[in-house]
Amino acid sequence: AQTVTQSQPEMSVQEAETVTLSCTYDTSENNYYLFWYKQPPSRQMILVIRQEAYKQQNATENRFSVNFQKAAKSFSLKISDSQLGDTAMYFCAFMKLLGNTPLVFGKGTRLSVIA
C-alpha cells in the first residue's frame, strides 16, 4: 500500500517571500503520478500542480513549482512570491499509473501568508 507523509502540520510565510512544503511517499510502483491540491477556507479542493514520475523535469505552474526526487521519494512544493490568497491547506497526493485509481492523500500542511 502507498503512504504519503507531510511532516509540517503548519507553516507561515511573509507576503512576497518563498516557502517550501515537504512531502514524502512510500511505494513499490515505478510509474505513478503525484499531485498538490490546495484547500482554501471555502474548502473547495483545487489542483495546484501534477507530476508524472516518468518525467525527470520538474513541473511548474506560474508561481508554483515542485522538486521531485524519485530516488528519495520526495515531492516538495515551492511557492514563490507568496500572496495572501495562497493561505490554505495544502495536500500532497499519490496516484498509481493505471487509470482511475483513487488518490492517496497526506494529512496536509496549513499555510498562512502574513501581510
Taking the least distance from each CB to another protein, the nearer of 64 and 105 is 105
For another protein, the binding residues in 44-103 under the rule CB under 8 A are: 44-47, 50, 52, 91, 95, 97-100, 102-103
Question: Distance between CA atoms of 93 and 26, rounded to whole angstroms?
Answer: 11
Shortest separation between residue 33's beta carbon and another protein, angstroms: 5
**List of residues 6+ apart from 113 with CB closer than 8 A:** 12, 13, 14, 15, 82, 83, 84, 85, 86, 87
SS3 94: strand
Answer for which of 43, 56, 57, 71 binds another protein (CB under 8 A) is 43
47 near 35, Cβ under 8 Å?
yes
Taking the least distance from each CB to another protein, the nearer of 47 and 84 is 47
Binding residues for another protein, rule: CB under 8 A, are 9, 33, 35, 37, 42-47, 50, 52, 91, 95, 97-100, 102-103, 105-108
